[in-house]
Structure 1
Amino acid sequence: MSDEIYGGLTQLGGRSELPASPEEAVLERVPNAQPSMEYAVRFTAPEFTSLCPMTGAPDFAHLVIDYVPGDWLVESKSLKLFLGSFRNHGAFHEFCTTEIARRLVELLDPKWLRIGGYWYPRGGIPIDVFWQSGAPPKGVWIPAQDVPGYRGRG
């Protein structure tokens, strides 16, 4: 690892505790080695968890995050820890999904980002939450998220 490029990372390469909350989580970025090339990056988190803010009951989701980077890439371990920090955090599905997008856009200033939050049913109703920053750049292959409507999702 080059100290010049990666020297500022605080979580990669060692043991890192799960942050107590999303507010305490540190998202880190690294320079995009191909900033002039437009390409898509996908992160899939099929076991995302948070807590219902009213009952404290666990909520589960399958998240799909797609982005076209500009000058920065999200460092994947910091993203994993950030997503894990929601595990004991009480918030509605809509907030969790859009807060993840907001933090990533704030950190990365990507050319484009979208998130699909496919939440498992609670009370018999699945709630799916979608957000994107605008139209994707022309010519970039953006695959479908391919998470089916709820039918025993898995």
Structure 2
Amino acid sequence: MAGKDVSGLTQLGKAVEQPKSPEEAILERVPNGQEDVNCLVRFTAPEFTSLCPMTGQPDFAHLVIDYVPDQWLVESKSLKLFLTSFRNHGAFHEDCTVMIGKRIVDLLSPRWLRIGGYWYPRGGIPIDVFWQTGAPLADIWLPDQSVATYRGRG
């Protein structure tokens, strides 16, 4: 990648400790070598966990993050560390899902982003949370997030 300096990365290729909280987590970016092209980038985290802020009990979700990058891509190791930093973080489903989307938008300024948080039931009710930055771009292929609606044992 001529002219694409990634020397400022602090986590990739290095042993780093797991961040204790999302606020402490360092989310990093790398230059997009295809910034003249609209393409969809998808990250899927099927085993996302956080804590209920009221009971401290674990909450589980399947996250799907889709974005159309501009000048920057999210560096995947930093994203994994950021997402796992929620394991000891107490917040409601809606707050976790939107916080993740906004943090990525703040870092990358993508052309478009959406996040789907498909939360597993606690107390018998699954909660699905969706957030996006605006209308999808007309010239991208936008596949379904392919996460089945929760059906229980039925």
1:4 to partner: Cα distance:
6.0
**What does the per-residue CA deviation read over 1:105-132, in whole Å, with 9 as the maximum and x for residues that have no partner?**
0000000000000000000000000001
Deviations 1:34-87 (A, max 9, x none): 101000000000000000000000000000000000000000000000000000
SS of the residue corresponding to residue 8 of structure 1 reads coil
Alpha-carbon offset, residue 3 of structure 1? 9.7
Alignment map for 1:1-154 (pairs within 5 Å)? 5-152=5-152
For residue 13 of structure 1, give the secondary structure of its aligned residue in structure 2: coil
| Total equivalences in the alignment | 153
> Within 2, Cα distance between the matches of 1:13 and 1:108?
21
1:4–1:148: structure 2 CA closer, same or farther, 3 Å change rule? Answer: closer
Deviation at 1:137, TM superposition (A): 1.2
Q: Which runs of 5+ in 2 are unaligned?
A: none
Distance 1:144 1:13 in 2: 33
User: Secondary structure at the residue paired with 1:6?
Assistant: coil
Q: How many Å separate the matches in 2 of 1:2 and 1:75?
A: 18
* 2:20 maps to amino acid: A
- TM-score between both structures, scaled by the size of structure 2: 0.96
TM superposition shift of 1:152: 4.4
- Percent identity, aligned pairs only? 73
Hey, what's the Cα distance between the residues in 2 that align with 1:3 and 1:17?
Answer: 30
SS at match of 2:5: helix
Q: CA distance change for structure 1 residues 4 and 73 in 2, over 3 Å: closer, same or farther? A: closer
2: CA distance, partners of 1:152 / 1:16: 38
Kept in 1, the 8 Å contact 2:4–2:31? The answer is: no
TM-score (norm 1): 0.96
What is the RMSD computed on CA atoms of the aligned residues? 1.6
CA–CA separation in structure 2 for the residues paired with 1:25 and 1:3 = 28
1:151 CA displacement: 2.1
AA in 1 matched with 2:48: F
Q: Which runs of 5 or more residues in structure 1 are unaligned?
A: none
Q: Partners of 1:80 and 1:131 in 2: how far apart? A: 20
Q: CA deviation at 1:6?
A: 1.1
